[in-house]
């Protein structure tokens, strides 16, 4: 050798720098790495219900929504002629999308998908359902402030009132 310093230095440090550059180049050449897509698919029977997820209207069933975080979501479905449905949907992470495996899943050069499926059955609207909800609301008000609670009619009085209002032109 002519005594000129080598481009990468000398010894083990030079080899380590060289291998690091090769690894960095290989990652850059690999292009975009893997991607994880997380979706919630919401269906209902009957279809066409308006879906509100965590106070955000997301569409009508069947609908697919991308999400970022696993956990519990507030779900509301409504469809004319059917009882509104208020519930909680749970989105649980698959094994490969938990720490520390999630890092490997993000770096794996493939598109992965975590798909959560929720199906809801809507009940036809009935006068009893309206009465039940009204009685529940009265009970909730009475629990907070009994003086504010209105006097509840009997079930037969309420049904007769609903039937009478339905027959009016």
pLDDT at site 136: 85
Q: Residue 31 above 70 pLDDT?
A: no
CATH code, domain carrying 83: 2.60.40
Flag whether the pTM goes above 0.85.
no
- Residue 30 belongs to a domain: no
- Residue 169 belongs to a domain: no
DSSP label at residue 169: -
Long-range contacts formed by 82-86: CB under 8 A, 24+ apart = 82/46, 82/49, 82/122, 82/123, 82/124, 82/125, 83/122, 83/123, 83/124, 83/125, 83/126, 83/129, 85/49, 85/120, 85/122
Residue 90 and residue 141 in one domain: no
Q: Residue 167 above 60 pLDDT?
A: no
Residue 116 and residue 136 in one domain: no
Residue 116 and residue 131 in one domain: no
Q: Residue 25 above 70 pLDDT?
A: no
Domain that holds residue 158: 127-162
Residue 113 and residue 143 in one domain: no
**Which whole number is the average pLDDT over 61-78?**
96
């Amino acid at each position: 050798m002519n005594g000129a310093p080598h481009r990468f230095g000398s010894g083990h440090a030079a080899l380590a720098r060289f291998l690091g550059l090769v690894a960095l180049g290989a990652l850059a050449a690999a292009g975009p790495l893997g991607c994880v897509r997380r979706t919630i698919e919401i269906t209902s029977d009957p279809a066409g219900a308006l879906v509100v997820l965590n106070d955000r209207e997301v569409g009508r069933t069947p609908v697919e929504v991308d999400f970022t975080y696993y956990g519990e979501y507030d779900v509301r479905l409504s469809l004319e002629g059917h009882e509104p449905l208020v519930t909680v949907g749970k989105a649980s992470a698959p094994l490969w999308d938990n720490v520390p495996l999630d890092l490997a899943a993000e770096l794996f050069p493939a598109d992965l998908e975590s798909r959560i499926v929720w199906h809801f059955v809507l009940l036809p609207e009935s006068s009893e359902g309206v009465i039940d909800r009204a009685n529940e609301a009265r009970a909730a008000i009475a629990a907070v402030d009994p003086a504010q609670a209105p006097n509840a009619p009997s079930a037969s009085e309420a049904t007769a009132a609903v039937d009478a209002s339905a027959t009016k032109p």
